[in-house]
Amino acid sequence: MTRARKLGVVVALAAAIVALGLGQAALGAAARTHAVTAPRFEVDPMWPKPLPNHWVLGNVIGVGVDSKDHIFIVHRNDTFDARHEIGAAANPPISECCVPAPPVIEFDQAGNVVNAWGGPGHGYDWPSSNHGISLDDKDNVWIGGNGTCPPPGTPGCPAGTIDSFILKFTHDGKFLMEIGTPHETVNSNSTTHFGRVAKISFDVKANEAFIADGYGNKRVAVIDMDNGKIKRFWGAYGHVPSDSNLGPYDPNAPLAQQFRNPVHCAEPTPDGLVYVCDRVNDRIQVFRKSGEFVREKIIKPLTRGDGSVWDIAFSRDPQQKYIFLADGKNERVYVLDRQSLDLLTEFGDGGRQPGEFFAVHSIATDSKGNIYTAETYEGKRIQKFVYKGMSTVDSIQGVVWPKR
Amino acid sequence: MIRRGILFGGTLLSVLASSATAQRAGRGASGRTAPRFEVDLLWPQPMPNRWILGSATGVAVDQSDHVFVVHLTDSFTPRTEIGLATNPVTGECCAPAPNVLEFDPAGTLVGQWGGPGQVSHWPEQNAGLAIDDAGNVWIGGSGGADSRILKLTHDGKLIAEFGTATPVLSGRGAGRSEDTAYAGVSPGRGGRGAGRGRGGRAEVPALPANSNSMDSFGGPAGFSFDAKANEAYVADGYRNHRVAVIDMTTGAIKRYWGAYGGKPNDADTAKYEPGGAFPKQFGAPVMCAKLARDGLLYVCDTQNDRIQVFRKDGSFVKEKTVAPATRGTGSVWDIAFSRDLQQKYVYVADGMNMKVHVLDRQSLDELTSFGDGGRQPGEFYAVHSIATDSKGNIYTVETYEGKRVQKFVYKGLGPIAKKNEGVLWPAAPRTKP
């Protein structure tokens, strides 16, 4: 072995040890595993069925479930490498595969595509970057957008403006309403528009929609579901929101008194609470529906960059006993007890195989308790995790494959 | 046909089942049969240490049916993909797996090695892994300056380097070839580029092609071996437009040739156009040179959508196009032979059309194909390399953002149902009456 090579090995080894040390520090308590009782899941490797027409998915950026347990996704159908991914869409075609699927796709329980729609149309703006999909009690479809202008070649999108509106469609894609003045700028105290909305959720009894607002704004906004009027809004801890730049998240700094961007979910529950994903601050904040702060829970606080709290869904029992939390940075789904907010168990890992994740972005449950996850960036997938009942599981489960 | 099926190595049960099916179906509409496969949904096992696979650019199977994969460990976006390997650490996941990975037949990772920290002169972009009869591992490179071949032991100790580092720059013309190893830069969405970066890799200016060099290679892309003659056939390569035959011990180039067995001419850059005349030269890359047991050599002229067949001395036998309407990178990325004694079938990995073509080796007629684009099991994104094991199973790896290795389980011969079988999932479990 030459001197140079020896040195190379030593350097590589040292780097590996440092990386491992830091990694283990980051893992913290998570490195110790123990048995817990929690809902158990197994990935369904054959869900959904292969898409027709050589369609492929781009960044999958939202998932929702309707009253018949049909699964809706929204994906960005302009997030492809034109030369290598969508050759059949080129003019002339350069290959047999593939073609971008329409932005909104509806799957039945068996995983068949039963409808596909979306994109720019007459009478409304389509976001320059669609984001989040939710179905209300009437099975209407709500879509946000987290884009900034101008994305290349988008008409009607003045430079320096943002996606500042929400779209409401019927179940089958007929346009119903556009809420918020389009093409505005960031303003977390606006009562007329939004700031790059991540997701919409509903309190149907009160006829209110809760807006995770968003990638530009740093607030939760509550609107009337019929007329779209902004009724109230608030920032972290229930403060008046501020648009001042907080800089990057630092695990060693005191807790931020404002949300960071993005505010990525705002999920009301029938017992009067709202759970908010303060993604980059690695925390869930809980409020009453009035905006009064109740408590917060920090999740994996050493997580930098994109943060740990991406999206949440509730278990479908009447008490909504569990929270399922998608963490697209650490590539996990966490199961929390909703009352205590204790982390019970986690499953998943990084990778491209079934049950693994690359940037698991959105999460939803169906009436049978199954979980659906959507992956953005180059994950570009939707996956189903079948509910297997309550069980004794490890606190760190890894990839949850079916038994051979 | 049925007796051959038994020799082919499927289980007795599957052979009986398939022959019965074949008889019932009168061997399908075409009257022909072809090997059938199902993707193994759960192969390989998840890797330890929160390792992930980058753009995978080579796969080979050793004598004990262990599967070796080589991938690009710098094909990650640090911000979104490898938070455990950044400084400071930004998350618990993930870290790049070592360059060369060895999986046992059950899919368990049993070996890992390679990379510039362990082997000096590691290629800038490793590609094209092959295993010779002695169990040694050969690795080429698709990087703009990669002009060497590494020969290593089964567990990664360097045995030899073939080819000089800086070739004589006498060639002209071809410049940087189509980069099939890694080109995962999506122009997509206005430079935001989240998750689709080039992993911070600096663009290295490519050396020019030099297809008549006697001491260097131009991005060696694949290898096969004639153990008796102690010769290796080199698909040369990502920049050069030739097949080179070298001494397996010394690495000396013994002979080489271009398309149709002629002298390669790097100045002739005529490109294939569907429906047009066949170029007289290989395009770049030449991605495979696979020697069959009967002494015929099959060469992947990737960009020209064709396989050319030669004798060992370089004399031209014939050519055949595959999916000849394919533009862009082309259709013929890599081939593997079926493992029956006659090597009756050729499997072609087609990373542009996202499928595997099944050809009859004698006629080179396409019997059927399988796969489609996507991220689910049995789907592909840029299927780059292909190999078979002793049981007839197929392994594929995907480059760009595919970043996977997949196994397709051999299910015996069966009638050809469709020209394209689509995604080969196992049948849903049947409920017993």
What would the DSSP string read from start to end of A186-199? --TT-SS--SSEEE
Residue for token pair 């400084």:
B87
A35 vs chain B: nearest CA distance in angstroms? 21
Cα B251-B252-B257 angle, rounded to 5 deg: 110
Query: Cβ contact (<8 Å) for A97 and B355?
Result: yes
- Residue B13: phi and psi, rounded to 5, are -60, -50
**Averaged pLDDT, A222-230:** 98
**Averaged pLDDT, A9-32:** 46
Of A307-311, B146-150, B202-206, the least confident: B202-206
* pLDDT (0 to 100) of residue B181: 41
A230 vs chain B: nearest CA distance in angstroms? 31
**Averaged pLDDT, B343-362:** 98
A38: β partners: A391
Q: A27 — contact with chain B (CB < 8 Å)? A: yes
* pLDDT tier at B211, thresholds 50, 70, 90: very high
* pLDDT (0 to 100) of residue B204: 53
Average of per-residue pLDDT values in chain A? 92
* pLDDT (0 to 100) of residue A110: 98
* pLDDT (0 to 100) of residue A8: 44
In this predicted model, what pLDDT tens digit does every residue of B3-55 receive, in sequence order?
333 333 333 334 334 444 433 443 444 578 999 999 999 999 999 999 999 99
Query: What secondary structure letter does DSSP report for B168?
Result: -
Query: What secondary structure letter does DSSP report for B12?
Result: H
Q: Is the dihedral angle over the CA atoms A146, A150, A151, A154 positive or is it negative?
A: positive
* pLDDT (0 to 100) of residue A253: 97
Which chain A residues have a beta carbon less than 8 Å from that of B120? 2, 4-5, 8
- Whether pLDDT at B150 is above 90: yes
* pLDDT (0 to 100) of residue A2: 42
Between these two residues, B327 and B433, which has the higher pLDDT value? B327
A231 vs chain B: nearest CA distance in angstroms? 34
Give the tokens for residue A97.
């595969």
* pLDDT (0 to 100) of residue B10: 37
Of A163-167, B18-22, B143-147, B156-160, the least confident: B18-22
Name the residue among A82, A329, A354 with its Cβ closest to that of B377. Answer: A354
Cα A314 from Cα A320, distance rounded (Å): 6
* pLDDT tier at A14, thresholds 50, 70, 90: very low
Cα A294 from Cα B220, distance rounded (Å): 63
Cα A388 from Cα A401, distance rounded (Å): 12
Strands A343-347 and A360-365: unpaired
Cα A110 from Cα A108, distance rounded (Å): 5
- Whether pLDDT at B187 is above 90: no
* pLDDT (0 to 100) of residue B8: 37
Of A27-31, A271-275, A279-283, B144-148, the least confident: A27-31
Provide the edge-to-edge strand list for the sheet that holds B355-360: B334-337, B345-350, B355-360, B366-370
Strands B100-103 and B109-113: antiparallel
* pLDDT (0 to 100) of residue B32: 87
Instruction: Please name the helix (run of DSSP H) or strand (run of DSSP E) that holds residue B385, with its range, or none.
Output: strand B383-388
**Residue closest to B123 by CA, chosen among B95, B96, B143:** B143
- Residue B151: phi and psi, rounded to 5, are -115, 120
- Whether pLDDT at B147 is above 60: yes
Average of per-residue pLDDT values in chain B? 87
Give the tokens for residue A328.
């697209």
Contact A369, A387 (CB under 8 A): yes
Q: A358 — contact with chain B (CB < 8 Å)? A: yes
Provide the edge-to-edge strand list for the sheet that holds B137-141: B126-131, B137-141, B149-152, B158-162
Contact A28, A302 (CB under 8 A): yes
- Whether pLDDT at B414 is above 80: yes
Cα B82 from Cα A299, distance rounded (Å): 19
Cα B12 from Cα B18, distance rounded (Å): 10
- Residue A13: phi and psi, rounded to 5, are -65, -45
Instruction: Please name the helix (run of DSSP H) or strand (run of DSSP E) that holds residue A144, with its range, or none.
Output: strand A141-145
Residue for token pair 């399988």:
B370
B190 vs chain A: nearest CA distance in angstroms? 6
* pLDDT (0 to 100) of residue B206: 83
* pLDDT tier at B410, thresholds 50, 70, 90: very high
Contact A382, A73 (CB under 8 A): yes
Name the residue among B47, B50, B328 with its Cβ closest to that of A83. Answer: B328
Query: Cβ contact (<8 Å) for B93 and A303?
Result: no
- Whether pLDDT at B197 is above 80: no
* pLDDT (0 to 100) of residue B427: 86
Query: Cβ contact (<8 Å) for A152 and B372?
Result: no
Q: How many helices (H) and strands (E) does chain B have?
A: 2, 26
**Averaged pLDDT, A12-35:** 52
Query: Cβ contact (<8 Å) for A303 and B85?
Result: no
Cα B373 from Cα B367, distance rounded (Å): 20
In this predicted model, what pLDDT tens digit does every residue of A100-119 receive, in sequence order?
999 999 999 999 999 999 99
Amino acid at residue number A153: G
* pLDDT tier at B106, thresholds 50, 70, 90: very high
* pLDDT tier at A152, thresholds 50, 70, 90: low
Q: A91 — contact with chain B (CB < 8 Å)? A: no
* pLDDT (0 to 100) of residue A18: 43
Which of A157-166, A202-211, B30-39 is the most confident on average? A202-211
- Whether pLDDT at A360 is above 50: yes
Contact B394, B356 (CB under 8 A): yes
Of A14-18, B48-52, B105-109, the least confident: A14-18
* pLDDT (0 to 100) of residue A404: 77
**Residue closest to A351 by CA, chosen among B168, B48, B279, B64:** B48
* pLDDT (0 to 100) of residue A367: 98
- Whether pLDDT at A335 is above 70: yes
* pLDDT (0 to 100) of residue A151: 63
* pLDDT (0 to 100) of residue B235: 98
Contact B162, B220 (CB under 8 A): no
**Residue closest to A183 by CA, chosen among A132, A148, A215:** A148
* pLDDT (0 to 100) of residue A157: 74
Cα A133 from Cα A366, distance rounded (Å): 15
Between these two residues, B31 and B83, which has the higher pLDDT value? B83
Contact B370, B377 (CB under 8 A): no
Cα B149-B150-B152 angle, rounded to 5 deg: 150
In this predicted model, what pLDDT tens digit does every residue of A45-86 receive, in sequence order?
999 999 999 999 999 999 999 999 999 999 999 999 999 999
Phi-psi region of B412 (alpha: psi -120 to 50; beta: other; left: phi over 0): left
Cα B369 from Cα B347, distance rounded (Å): 9
Residue for token pair 């009027």:
A229
- Whether pLDDT at B365 is above 90: yes
Residue for token pair 């190379």:
A8
B371 vs chain A: nearest CA distance in angstroms? 10
In this predicted model, what pLDDT tens digit does every residue of A244-280 receive, in sequence order?
999 999 999 999 999 999 999 999 999 999 999 999 9
- With a CB cutoff of 8 Å and minimum separation 6, the contacts of B24 are none
- With a CB cutoff of 8 Å and minimum separation 6, the contacts of B431 are none
Between these two residues, A21 and B237, which has the higher pLDDT value? B237
Q: Distance from CA of residue B236 to its chain's centroid?
A: 14
- Whether pLDDT at A239 is above 50: yes
Q: Distance from CA of residue B217 to its chain's centroid?
A: 18
Provide the edge-to-edge strand list for the sheet that holds A311-314: A311-314, A322-327, A332-337, A343-347
Query: Cβ contact (<8 Å) for B89 and A26?
Result: yes
**Averaged pLDDT, B51-71:** 98
* pLDDT tier at B430, thresholds 50, 70, 90: low
In three-state secondary structure terms, A89 is helix
Cα A198 from Cα A206, distance rounded (Å): 22
- With a CB cutoff of 8 Å and minimum separation 6, the contacts of A122 are none
* pLDDT tier at B158, thresholds 50, 70, 90: very high
* pLDDT (0 to 100) of residue B34: 97
Query: ipTM of this model?
Result: 0.91
**CB-side neighbour CA atoms (13 Å) of B107:** 17
Size of interface A-B (CB pairs under 8 A): 230
Cα A77 from Cα A88, distance rounded (Å): 14
Query: Cβ contact (<8 Å) for B120 and A46?
Result: no
Percentage of chain A lying above the pLDDT 90 cut: 88
**Residue closest to A375 by CA, chosen among A311, A296, A282:** A311
Name the residue among A305, A355, A404 with its Cβ closest to that of B83. Answer: A305
Give the tokens for residue B232.
């290796």
First and final CA of chain A: distance in angstroms? 45
* pLDDT (0 to 100) of residue B164: 87
CA A191 → CA A165, A220, A221, A234, B408, distances in Å?
A: 12, 12, 9, 12, 57
